[in-house]
Amino acid sequence: TRVGEQGSTLSGGQRQRLAIARALLKNPRILILDDATSSVDTETEQLIQLALQRLMRPEDGPARTSFVIAQRLSTVRMADVILVLEKGRIAAAGTHHTLLQTSPLYADIYYRQLRPSSELSANGRMIP
């Protein structure tokens, strides 16, 4: 792929993958990712997630401090602590499993994003 000046010929997903690759090469002690997989397809997102997990929790050293800002819950499910924001305020905090049990907002987002659509009613709510 021809990159062009300032990456002008790259798609949004290609730019994101390039930025993540640069972060992987720098091996930073603190990593900040802001919607790192928003412009990629599901298959590419999974590959990026595997690479990021290795970067955040390397086998040959301590885990690095990572801040991951995401719309997709699949990006943050393995985090030690997840902060759920609503209207600019922290509405809930905890692990993925804890939030599924204690935060209706988080659970609703999870079921909308990650459960098969056949389990949702016409208004997007879970069918009991």
Other Cβ atoms less than 10 A from the Cβ of 92: the count is 17
pTM: 0.68
26-49 per-position pLDDT tens digit: 878 888 888 877 777 778 778 777
94-126 per-position pLDDT tens digit: 999 999 999 999 999 998 887 655 544 455 554
The set of residues, in sequence order, having a beta carbon less than 8 Å from that of 93 and lying 6+ positions away, is 81, 82, 83, 84, 99
Q: Where are the domains of the chain?
A: 1-74, 81-128
